[in-house]
Amino acid sequence: MADEEPRVEAPVQVAKPVRNGPKWANDAKERVQAAIRRYSKPLADRGAKDADEGYTEPKPKLTPAVSADVQRIRAGLVDAGIAARRWLERLRWARLIIAAAAQVVIGLVAWRIWVWRGRPRLK
């Protein structure tokens, strides 16, 4: 018993579980799991701190009320935006009408060419 050498055990290596599915899905799962491990402690610490101390961060500063001039300018810009939108809507309808008229003209020209080519020629 005294002659026995102390045995040194090799560290046990744990194999990663085999996952079925595409490589990109496995990579995404691993990234999500790593992020959960990485952020779980800081989030738990933050929750404990807020529970202990209460919400102590500074409150956002409120902007002062805007003047009547600024309100008038904003209203004018909104009205101009509405007017511009109406003009764009009218232009869309005009473009649609022009495209339809062009299709009709193309159809009439094609029909006329077809009729002209089918006409008997004088010799």
Residues 14-46 pLDDT 10s: 666 666 778 888 888 899 998 888 888 887 777
* 91-108: average pLDDT: 90
Structure-block tokens of residue 70: 């600024």
Q: How far apart are CA 45 and CA 28, in angstroms?
A: 26
Q: Which residue has the higher pLDDT, 101 or 120?
A: 101
Q: Could you tell me the pTM of the whole model?
A: 0.30
Under a CB-based contact definition with an 8 Å cutoff, are residues 16 and 27 in contact? no
**Mean pLDDT of all residues in the chain?**
78
User: Using CA atoms in the order 16, 20, 23, 29, what is the torsion angle rounded to 10 degrees?
Assistant: -70
What average pLDDT does this structure show over 111-117?
83
Residue with tokens 């990663």: 16
